């Protein structure tokens, strides 16, 4: 047994050790570093406690920090907005409308997000609607119907006031056409350039045939 060499005591094992030390160990180190970075930067936007100031223009929010504690942050109310949903047909499925969902508020000044649990037991019901109303100014009453928007309304008949306004605009346009005649939009300089070339070609052909 004394003359038998240990399995690692061979030259061919240098290849395996070299591969492990040059590739496997650095890859494992990078994997652990990336995993630690991801854990450190986990989603810490969930709000655990929120309070108004006396004037209700500031909110003091406690959120989890990266050391798994809690830190208080201050936000101005007029910067907080609920983000406009991209698809109106998905309004009914939004987590913000789910009694047990999560409401996301965006601070448009500092580019931060706040996430609130919708469960009523976490809210002061006397202040909840006021807070939600102040953070819905971007899309409240404007995205409830896919046919009705801020500018166009394609899903219903015009009201009497709207119809009267359209008739007034149409009559004013007719009067302007009657007074000034049809409008001829100016041509583009590139079109004028090529039209001049075609006209000169036609003049040359006409002169050669004369």
Residue 96 domain-assigned?
Answer: yes
CA gap 124, 163 in Å, rounded: 45
Q: How many CB atoms lie within 10 A of CB 58?
A: 14
Range of the domain at 79: 47-134
Rounded average pLDDT over 119-138: 84
Q: Is residue 150 part of a domain?
A: no
Residue (of 69, 68, 73, 143) closest to 114 by Cα position: 73
Which pLDDT tens digit goes with each residue over 52-76?
988 888 999 988 777 667 888 899 9
Is the same domain home to 15 and 63?
Answer: no
Do residue 92 and residue 106 come from a single domain? yes
Torsion of CA 188, 190, 191, 194, to 10 degrees: 160
| Total domains in the fold of the chain | 3
Per the CB < 8 A criterion, the answer to whether 115 and 88 are in contact is no
Residues 58 and 6 grouped into a single domain: no
Look up the pTM and report it: 0.46
Q: Lowest mean pLDDT of 15-19, 101-105, 129-133, 152-156, name the range.
A: 152-156
Q: Are residues 202 and 184 in the same domain?
A: yes
Q: Does 74 lie in the same domain as 16?
A: no
User: So what's the pLDDT on residue 13?
Assistant: 65
30 with 91, same domain: the answer is no
Does residue 74 sit within a domain? yes
């Amino acid at each position: 047994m004394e003359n038998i060499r240990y399995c690692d005591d061979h030259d061919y094992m240098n290849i395996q050790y070299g591969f492990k030390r040059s590739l496997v160990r650095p890859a494992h180190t990078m994997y652990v570093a990336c995993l630690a970075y991801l854990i450190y930067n986990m989603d810490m936007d969930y709000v655990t406690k929120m309070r108004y100031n006396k004037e209700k223009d500031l909110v003091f929010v406690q959120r989890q920090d990266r050391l798994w504690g809690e830190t208080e942050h201050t936000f101005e109310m007029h910067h907080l907005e609920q983000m406009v949903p991209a698809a109106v047909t998905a309004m009914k499925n939004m987590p913000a409308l789910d009694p047990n969902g999560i409401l996301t508020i965006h601070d448009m000044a500092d580019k931060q997000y706040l996430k609130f649990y919708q469960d009523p037991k976490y809210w002061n019901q006397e202040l909840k609607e006021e807070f939600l109303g102040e953070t819905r100014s971007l899309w409240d009453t404007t995205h409830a119907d896919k046919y009705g928007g801020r500018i166009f309304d394609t899903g219903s008949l015009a009201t009497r006031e709207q119809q009267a306004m359209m008739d007034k605009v149409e009559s004013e346009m007719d009067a302007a056409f009657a007074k000034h005649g049809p409008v001829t939009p100016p041509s583009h300089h590139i079109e004028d350039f090529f039209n001049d070339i075609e006209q000169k070609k036609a003049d040359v052909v006409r002169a050669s045939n004369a």
